Amino acid sequence: MTAYLEKLFGLSGRTAVVTGGSSGIGRAMALALGGAGARVVLVARREAPMAEVVAELRAEGCEAGAISADLGDREAVRAVIEQTLAGYGAPDILVNSAGINLRPPLSELTDDVWDRTLAANLTAPFQLGQAFGPVMAERGWGRIINVVSQQAFRAYGNSGAYGAAKAGLVGLTRSQAEAWSRHGVTCNAIAPGVVHTPLTEAVFSDPGKVAAHVARTLIGRNGLPEDFAGCAVFLASDAGQAVTGQTLFVDGGYSAT
């Protein structure tokens, strides 16, 4: 990196916690933040996929670690916070990418699916933000990046509890921005389009649905996890210091039509 790019985008000396960093969009963001110089701590349930990403990061010379936890459980999230503080200190960058989408038609949506969806997709980012946001503010520098969805803004694909949780996360992002931006902590959301990851296997196993989604983009293709590398580094770095409270659509123009 040239000295100019290092000053704008470099993350040396920063620590990033990336939930969902073992797969899909979160993995791509974790690798990007590590590549820009940050120490990266992954949080997800399964240890083996996290170990693979930690190995990828270390192979590139990055410092990396992992914490295994079910973010759908408030007690487990509290334990993640304690383990993070004990092992790494409060992070400079928090990326909330872990998410689930169970997609029952709304008439069949049970209390259980509602509770599980809200817990993992909205309550966990809230708890992590509450733990780390004030410390970032005290230090005078921090970044919170919440991965939301177009379904926070529009209904498609049985949005149900998922769309409601993501709309809540957009609102939470604005509240966090209002609370902490004056203290150097920018808080933004990223809204992907339709991205091929384990989360969307059902969509991508249906060629008709894949083509229909492609047709709604302006770039003529669905999303790739790599699409999220540059925007994560931008929002996490000094380059993004005046961008806060926003939702950045990284969707190939899907939402522009």
Query: Is 162 an annotated catalytic residue?
Result: yes
Beta carbon of residue 75, minimum distance to ligand NAP (angstroms, whole number)? 13
Residues that bind ligand NAP (CB under 6 A): 20, 22-26, 44-46, 49, 70-72, 97-101, 120, 147, 149, 192, 194-195, 197-200
CB closer to ligand NAP, 10 vs 131: 131
**Which residue's CB atom is positioned nearest to ligand NAP?**
24
Distances (CA, A) of 114 to 1, 59, 148, 199: 45, 40, 17, 17
Beta carbon of residue 190, minimum distance to ligand NAP (angstroms, whole number)? 8
Give the β-pairing of 93-96 and 142-147: parallel
Continuous segment of H or E residues that includes residue 167:
helix 160-180
Beta carbon of residue 1, minimum distance to ligand NAP (angstroms, whole number)? 26
CB closer to ligand NAP, 10 vs 192: 192
Q: Residue 203 phi/psi, 5° resolution?
A: -65, -45
For helices 24-35 and 47-59, the axis angle rounded to 10 degrees is 30
Q: Which of 4, 88, 156, 162 is catalytic?
A: 162
CB closer to ligand NAP, 10 vs 157: 157
Beta carbon of residue 115, minimum distance to ligand NAP (angstroms, whole number)? 12
Residue 121 contacts residue 103 (beta carbons within 8 Å): no
Distances (CA, A) of 100 to 103, 117, 166, 180, 197: 9, 6, 11, 27, 12
Q: List residues with catalytic annotation.
A: 162
